[in-house]
Chains A and B, each alone.
Chain A
Amino acid sequence: MSRFLIPLLVLILCAMPFMLGRGMLFLGTEILVIIAMAQAWNLLAGYGGLLSLGHHGFIGIGGYALFIVTRDTGLHPYLAIPFAGFVSAGLALFLAPILFRLRDVYFAVGLWVSAEILRIVVMRVDFTGNVNGMPLTAARNLNREWMGTNAYWLALALAVGVTFVVWLMMRSSFGLRLQALRDDEVAARSIGVAPKQVRLIVFMVSAGFAGMAGAVHFLSSLFITPVAAFDMTWMVTLVFVTIIGGIGRLHGPILGAVLYFALREFLGFSSSWYLFALGAAGVLIILFFPRGLAGLLDTIIAKFTKKGTAS
């Protein structure tokens, strides 16, 4: 069934720009960007067991990479998106020798500190427009009429692409090795899994996708500042969207993101009450439904089909 359903869904999502107003389209772009980012984080944390609290560093660097390369080389902004991914993946490659000595909380906070260093440096360097940030100078080459629509399509392509890549990776022997490593490192080593190599790949892929998603986000907003680029709120959103949806599940980030934005639009809380509610929801889910919405859905499906859990 899902063989037809998923392409149909993607097709409908593709057609959205012709049905939605400007505001809704912008919201759609935001949701899709968050899905892509949450998939990237979930790949590392949920499947790889490497919890990051510093993905906002990769997001920010991806955004800046796009702004700088289009400013200095005249590269078309849309083509600069993969470049942004490479820059973020390269940053991961650079950080890996330091952070891979660490586990668990050390790794998580070590990455957070790295993101902080990036934020402070970017704020102080004129090359990146220092604390004032910079506009997307290449925006003058873009078609104003289609800019919003194109950003939406880019975000859609990215969200679908990242989800597809994660799906492919987890079906491959690489995915098995990664999850074996997460569940029991000693046992995984004994069957010949090379921990460093596997983790480095997943770290770089996750960072690269986060960077591309950051690039798409700031491309759609046409302006970047250090405060917005390296905002911890990115991290908070990614973590809780994934937890609420179901960590370590492919549809977790998607379910979580949809619920997250639905609540945000309907409740219309102030941003701090909203974040408060998000934190509280995260705490409750970890305590009472550690498998998130995806797990809940499994239980419901299992009840109806009486055949055990799906997927």
Chain B
Amino acid sequence: MIWVETLLNGLMLGGLYALFGLGLSLIFGVMKIANIAHGELAIGGAFLAFTVVGVVPVPLVILLPVIAVLMFGLGYALQSAMINRVLGDDPIPPLLLTFGLSILLQNLLVELYGANSRSLDPGSFGVAGIDLGGLSVGLLPLMTLLITITLFVALQWMLSRTSFGRTIRATSDDPEIVAMMGVDRRHIFALVMGLSALLAAVAGMLLATRTSITPFSGAERLLIAFEVIVIGGLGSIWASLLGGLVLGVVHAIGFRLDPASGLLYGHILLLIILLVRPEGLAGKRRTR
């Protein structure tokens, strides 16, 4: 029974991981770059939430979308003011630029909030649980999983059914030719970065409801997000979901067997996947 519970916990944790990976996978798919500051955007969203709650104590249901929209704006601004300027054939400048942003944001958070750990108070259901045939499942992780799945379905719907989603996929296929369709790819890139920041921030806030975070938690989140997209593979958002769930289960089992392991087993899984299946469990063949 304890293993069923471990598995279940792993899956719920994995849902959150998948959400961290989703935003990174999205920008990688469209722009072929990664955002090293992805973790800081996630953690930054949570810290922004701390500030808002400190001023006006609003419930989580309102807080979550408000911060998400703000972070969308920040992502859009970062892309259009900075990252778009260094996009080109050479992948190194955007990588270094986002690395710089990550260091800048991390230390800004340290200065503004201190290095102490904090968490978001999820309210009464933070401790509530339901009993599923002898298994006790926390209401909060269940909520997290529900939000995650909702976001995945919504994103999939947007990408496959809407004109905006079609334009995103077309831009990913051939960013030069979309210009002949009247599309300014820089605008699309900025919207996608906004979306990625939004997803990261929601994941960051959900994380902060279940565990305490510090300004230094961003780097860890980046590595998790990265591992999710390598394990799952690129090419579809379901690959991110699979990658997240697998990583979550591996962490849960690792934690059960060896409580001091931290992220170790996830890291090792990453190297194994790179060695035996570099395109990921569900990924399409990578072009590079």
Direct contact of A and B (CB under 8 A): yes
B107/A51 in contact, CB under 8 A: no
Q: A109-B34, A276-B107, A278-B103 are in contact. Are A116 and B86 (CB under 8 A)?
A: no
Q: A102-B274, A278-B103 are in contact. Are A286 and B223 (CB under 8 A)?
A: no
In the complex, chain B residues whose CB is within 8 Å of the CB of A240: 100, 103
A278's closest neighbor in chain B, by CB? Answer: B103
A-B contact count (CB 8 A): 115
Query: Is the CB of B177 closer than 8 A to any CB of chain A?
Result: no
B223/A102 in contact, CB under 8 A: no
Query: Is the CB of B104 closer than 8 A to any CB of chain A?
Result: yes
B267/A113 in contact, CB under 8 A: yes
Query: Is the CB of A104 closer than 8 A to any CB of chain B?
Result: yes
A101's closest neighbor in chain B, by CB? Answer: B278
User: Which residues of A267-291 have CB atoms within 8 Å of chain B's CB atoms?
Assistant: 270, 272-276, 278-280, 282-283, 286-287, 290
CB distance from B186 to the nearest CB of A (A): 15
How many chain-B residues does the 8 Å CB contact rule pick out? 44
B288/A103 in contact, CB under 8 A: yes
Q: A104-B288, A116-B263 are in contact. Are A45 and B92 (CB under 8 A)?
A: yes
B35's closest neighbor in chain A, by CB? Answer: A105
A283/B101 in contact, CB under 8 A: yes
Query: Is the CB of A124 closer than 8 A to any CB of chain B?
Result: yes
B82/A283 in contact, CB under 8 A: yes
Query: Is the CB of A81 closer than 8 A to any CB of chain B?
Result: no
In the complex, chain B residues whose CB is within 8 Å of the CB of A116: 223, 263, 267
Tell me the bound Cα distance from A83 to B271 in angstroms.
27
CB distance from B98 to the nearest CB of A (A): 9
User: Which residues of B101-156 have CB atoms within 8 Å of chain A's CB atoms?
Assistant: 101-108, 110-111
Query: Is the CB of A243 closer than 8 A to any CB of chain B?
Result: yes
**How many residues of A sit at the interface, in one of the four size bands?**
35 or more
Query: Is the CB of B56 closer than 8 A to any CB of chain A?
Result: no
B274/A101 in contact, CB under 8 A: yes
B111/A276 in contact, CB under 8 A: yes
Contact of A279 among B82, B101, B270 (CB under 8 A): B101
A112/B223 in contact, CB under 8 A: yes
Contact of A120 among B82, B97, B267, B270 (CB under 8 A): B267
User: Which residues of A35-68 have CB atoms within 8 Å of chain B's CB atoms?
Assistant: 45, 49, 51, 53
B100/A117 in contact, CB under 8 A: no
In the complex, chain B residues whose CB is within 8 Å of the CB of A53: 36, 99
CB distance from A42 to the nearest CB of B (A): 12
A51/B96 in contact, CB under 8 A: yes
Query: Is the CB of B59 closer than 8 A to any CB of chain A?
Result: no
In the complex, chain A residues whose CB is within 8 Å of the CB of B36: 53
B275/A98 in contact, CB under 8 A: yes
Tell me the bound Cα distance from A282 to B86 in angstroms.
13
Tell me the bound Cα distance from A198 to B75 in angstroms.
38
21 pairs, A vs B, C-beta closer than 8 Å = A51-B95, A53-B36, A103-B288, A104-B95, A105-B28, A109-B226, A110-B270, A112-B223, A120-B263, A121-B264, A243-B100, A272-B111, A276-B108, A279-B100, A279-B102, A280-B100, A283-B82, A283-B97, A286-B100, A287-B85, A287-B86
Not counting A51-B96, A109-B222, a sample of 12 additional A-B residue pairs whose C-beta atoms are within 8 angstroms of each other reads A45-B92, A51-B95, A97-B275, A109-B223, A113-B223, A117-B264, A117-B268, A120-B267, A121-B264, A239-B99, A272-B110, A283-B82
10 closest pairs, A vs B, by CB? A279-B104, A279-B103, A282-B100, A276-B107, A105-B34, A283-B100, A272-B110, A104-B91, A272-B107, A275-B107
